[in-house]
Amino acid sequence: MERATPSSEVKPADYKTLQQFTSNSADPQLLQYLFRQQSLGKRRVRNSLPLAARKKKLGVGFYATRYESPQTSHLTVVDEQRNAVSLTFTLNYGFGSGVVVPGTGILMNDEMDDFAAAPGVPNVFGLVETEANAIPLASALCAIAPRKTPLSSMTPTIVTENGHLRVAVGAPSGGNIITQVLQILLNVLEYKMDAGMAVSAPRIHHQWLPDELRVEPFGLEALTLAELQRRGHRIKQTKPWGNVNSIVVTPDGTLEGAADPRGEGSPRGL
């Protein structure tokens, strides 16, 4: 195996390269602004776009990401016979283990981080394994040992109804994948949202430790937040998260595809 080494020189993208990765490449003001910002070393464009560009609602989703995400990846595919694929795959985090298979350029993942290295020590996503997960008497599901499989929150999901495909969904995003997928399923199956609305709806997340309820801006009504706080919940409002991809089969058999406006994906039909 070869260990990856950082480049000795990092060059900012030129104007032509930036144009290739900008969905609104027809707008010269936005392109000039992005080029100026990336030259200053800024990797994201949020609410700092020029006023004229903001009025035109330029950019992608909530954050207009302009770099390759280091996260887990997910894709969802359904063909005309309703065969479905929900595939989540990962290096675990940016550049994985930093080990490249010789002659291939393929990076090896770093799923060792999903084992319990020691009781009470969080992994890179803040997930904490308990004492029970590190001793043989308690099955040691996440302890580092031969023939063990590390813990994973990846949740590629296919739902059928009366023997027919209903929903295919999945997401990247570490420890909050499970709650993302659950909320999409509830939105579609219980609250009767279409695919786009289900994926776009505000989200909440709790993973036991840290003991806090993460809420997207405007994710819960003010009265609901006040009542949760009264009951002792710690509320943490954060920027939107996730990059869900979902395909829903409607009652009339139509396929609805939706990509998360928080991410860089997009639905396509062929």
153-to-30, 83, 92, 200, 259 alpha-carbon distances in Å: 38, 24, 11, 21, 20
At 167, which helix (H) or strand (E)? Answer: strand 164-170
Q: Tell me the CA end-to-end span of the chain in Å, nearest whole number.
A: 40
Token output for 172:
């990247």
> Residues 264, 65: contact at Cβ < 8 Å?
yes
d(CA 71, CA 131): 28
Helix (H) or strand (E) holding 259: strand 255-259
Q: Known catalytic residues?
A: 72
